Structure 1
């Protein structure tokens, strides 16, 4: 079952988000496609600045796919000083894309 993952990261700046994206994809520049992720299963990725940091909302094909991605993501967030990020997950009811 697909899931929505919400990551709220107080204190994260745009430069940190951009660096995390480069570390996730393993190359310079922004992430542009689900193929940029180190594991399969990403359906969509959205990020945005907030009043106090950064917000990421992903849709994954399954909780297992997200768990596999977490093995890459958690060390990156720790390296950036964001060790306390706790993802919230929800079952997907509907996904609409272009």
Structure 2
């Protein structure tokens, strides 16, 4: 079952996001199994929002385990994502 993963990062900045994205996409394991799509941007209240689409929650959790040390290295806080079932994902 595909899932939508939403991460709200209070106080997160574009610079932090760009650093973390460079770290993740530069990893030898990128792209991870089950990754479908990613979008991110300011949340409108001084933070940052990330929305990902994955084939399954297990695929996302495996990615998170690999990515966490990269996020910690650049000082990103540990955030609990919201995971919900995706009824449909449409890509252009």
1:1-98 equivalences under 5 Å are 1-26=1-26, 37-50=30-43, 51-98=45-92
User: With structure 1 as the length reference, what TM-score do the two structures score?
Assistant: 0.81
Structure 2 runs not aligned, ≥5 long: none
User: With structure 2 as the length reference, what TM-score do the two structures score?
Assistant: 0.86
How far apart, CA to CA, are the structure 1 residues paired with 2:74 and 2:40? 17
Deviation at 1:40, TM superposition (A): 1.7
Deviation at 1:96, TM superposition (A): 1.2
Secondary structure, aligned partner of 2:18: helix
Q: Root-mean-square deviation (CA), in Å?
A: 1.8
How far apart, CA to CA, are the structure 2 residues paired with 1:81 and 1:25? 17
For residues 42-70 of structure 1, what are the alpha-carbon distances to aligned partners after superposition, in whole Å with 9 as ceiling and x for unaligned? 11101011222110000100111101110
Secondary structure, aligned partner of 2:63: helix
How far apart, CA to CA, are the structure 2 residues paired with 1:38 and 1:87? 20
Secondary structure, aligned partner of 2:65: helix
Q: How many residue pairs align between the two structures?
A: 90
How far apart, CA to CA, are the structure 2 residues paired with 1:56 and 1:40? 19
Distance 1:37 1:49, change over 3 A: farther
CA contact (8 A) 2:16 2:76 kept: no
